[in-house]
Amino acid sequence: MTRHARAIRALLAGTALLATGFSATAAVAQSKIAVITPYLSQPGTQFYVEAFEAAAEGKDWDVNVIDTAGDVAAVISRIEDMVTQNVDAIVINVDPTQVTAGLQSAKDAGIPVIGMDAGADPLLVTNITSNGYAMAAETATYVADRIDGAGNVVMFVFEAFPPVQVRGVVADAVFGNFPDITILDHVTPDVSDGGIADSRAKMEAILAANPEPGSVKAVWAAWDQPALGALQAIEAAGRGGEGIVITGIDANPQAREAIAAGGNFEASVAQDFKGIGATAADVVARVLAAEEIKQGSIYVPTQLITASNAAE
């Protein structure tokens, strides 16, 4: 083989290696991310999933959003499916203690799982959320102040989801500091259709059982859908003029509209859903870059919403 031929052969070999290197780099850069939730019908979940997707657009990620439509148990099999597909990271929006088997399979496979308003758990890298303790305390004290520390309060809670369960515990503690406040009922609505319809039905039953004006002083809801359902029930029963105070948490658009109207629904707490989604995406990027995340929970700031700022 001549010197010229050897040079050409070497050049071709080098080009092939270079092309292979570019191909390998592209393959590494394309990261597969799965976002799994049973709560996509909830406005809050929709907002931060959309924010996560928006933040991911600037990255070389293939994001797969999986909705199990209220089926919490199905989240386990979906996580296992993603483990089989060898995704690079999984983001969940569900009580981690209810999907331990799935989380363990991800850990065994070396796939990081990040919570997005899920709940703290040793099997998660971290959980990005709002400070539920602070939000619940803020709305519960708002209620206590508005009713002068006395009267019957209806609470809408949801113990199956840690971020919401915490809110109920804190609100109970706040109300417990007022000896003249009585918790008339702890209501857990059916959330399969979003929660408004069943909350309205349950509130209608409570109002029927307590027909005297002033027999219900306030409704504290751990999120906005029950608050909206309670508002509908109170208005339909012709009891809007009794001054029943309603508070929620999330400050979704429908809640803001109701608060701005100046009726019974007086306050909610705005979570920064875009901030939660964007922060979750940032954490995923940091994890993929092999950064150690030391915080078990990362809190995104919130804001109390009343009639004075509901339209902002």
In terms of domains, do 96 and 184 share one?
no
Closest CA to 167 of 195, 117, 133, 126: 133
In terms of domains, do 65 and 138 share one?
no
In terms of domains, do 143 and 115 share one?
no
283 domain-assigned: yes
Place of tokens 């065994």: 108
310 domain-assigned: no
Q: How far apart are the first and last CA of the chain?
A: 78
Per-residue pLDDT of the chain (312 residues; tens, 9 = 90+): 544 444 445 444 444 444 444 444 444 558 999 999 999 988 889 999 999 999 999 899 999 999 999 999 999 999 999 999 999 999 999 999 999 999 999 999 999 999 999 988 999 999 999 999 999 999 999 999 999 999 999 999 999 888 899 999 999 999 999 999 999 999 999 988 888 999 999 999 999 999 999 999 999 999 999 999 999 999 999 999 999 999 999 999 999 999 999 999 999 999 898 999 999 999 999 999 999 999 999 999 999 999 999 998
Q: What is the pLDDT of residue 29?
A: 58
E-assigned strand segments in the chain = 31-37, 61-67, 89-92, 113-116, 127-130, 150-156, 180-187, 218-221, 245-247, 265-271, 297-300, 302-305
Per the CB < 8 A criterion, the answer to whether 92 and 64 are in contact is: no
Q: How many domains does the structure of the chain reveal?
A: 2
260 domain-assigned: yes
> DSSP secondary-structure letter at 124?
S
Cα angle for residues 223, 188, 137 (degrees, 5° grid): 40
**Structural domain that includes position 179:** 132-271
In terms of domains, do 98 and 144 share one?
no
111 domain-assigned: yes
In terms of domains, do 44 and 153 share one?
no
In terms of domains, do 121 and 164 share one?
no
Distance CA 276, CA 272 (A): 6
In terms of domains, do 226 and 196 share one?
yes
In terms of domains, do 152 and 192 share one?
yes
> DSSP secondary-structure letter at 250?
B
> DSSP secondary-structure letter at 49?
H
Q: What is the pLDDT of residue 193?
A: 80
In terms of domains, do 64 and 84 share one?
yes
Strands 245-247 and 297-300: unpaired
* CATH number of the domain to which 46 belongs: 3.40.50.2300
In terms of domains, do 229 and 296 share one?
no
Three-class SS state of 215:
coil
307 domain-assigned: no
Distance CA 160, CA 188 (A): 10
In terms of domains, do 151 and 29 share one?
no
306 domain-assigned: no
